[in-house]
Amino acid sequence: MYSKKTLQHFRSPHNYGEIKNADGVGEAGNIVCGDVMSLYLKMKKIGKKEPVIDQVKFKTYGCAAAIATSSAITDLVKGKTIGESLKISKNDIIDFLEGLPPIKIHCSILAIDALDEAIYQYLIDQKKPIPADLQKKHERITFSRNQIEERYKKWMTKK
């Protein structure tokens, strides 16, 4: 069911862990759905060039596909500028992993959401302008998070 590459990334994921003093942290997913992901970014500026993602790490609770897509996104964004990173789509992750089972496509969306959220927080902290697309994505992620929390409030807070 999983591709060889997905299994490789699940069994030996790249860049797991946390970054203290990260420049951007993005959270995506919800324990109700069984996936929770945090992505940490550390930026670096060399000379007059645009800053690039120098370090990236993840922490993920989820299935094998969630861990593999987390690992994949870290490989895909390392060394890229913010503009380049925002162009990465779920299909880039799926291609990178040489395919994902249809039922696991949502895991690639989880990774993209975490990346977008990390970049969003970085840009806000830097007081840089937020691209319209990113603003929209951030609002969608927040909206669906609130919706899930409202819907499963009783279950999540149960003693």
What's the min distance (Å) between Cβ of 117 and another protein?
14
Residue 10 lies near another protein (rule: CB under 8 A)? yes
Active site residue 63: no
The catalytic position among 11, 17, 18, 33 is 33
Taking the complex as a whole, how short is the minimal distance between the CB of residue 88 and another protein, in angstroms? 21
Residue number with CB closer to another protein (13 or 88):
13
**Residue from 36, 43, 82, 119 binding another protein (CB under 8 A):** 36
Cα 108 to Cα 35: distance, rounded to the nearest angstrom: 11
For another protein, the closer CB: 80 or 152: 152
The correct pick among 98, 103, 142, 146 for binding another protein (CB under 8 A) is 103
Query: Which residue's CB is nearer to another protein, number 87 or number 154?
Result: 154
Binding of residue 4 to another protein (CB under 8 A):
no
CA distance 53 to 45: 9
- 64 part of the interface to another protein, by CB under 8 A: yes
Question: Which CB, 47 or 155, lies closer to another protein?
Answer: 155
Instruction: Reduce the secondary structure of the chain to three states and give it as a string.
Output: CCCHHHHHHHHCCCCECCCCCCCEEEEEEEHHHCEEEEEEEEEECCCCCCCEEEEEEEEEECCHHHHHHHHHHHHHHCCCEHHHHCCCCHHHHHHHCCCCCHHHHHHHHHHHHHHHHHHHHHHHHCCCCCCHHHHHHHHHHHHHHHHHHHHCHHHHCCC
Rounded alpha-carbon distances, angstroms, from residue 123 to 56, 94, 144: 16, 27, 22
Q: Which residues bind another protein (CB under 8 A)?
A: 10-11, 13, 16-17, 31-38, 58-67, 70, 103-104, 106, 152, 155-156, 158
Which of the residues are catalytic? 33, 107
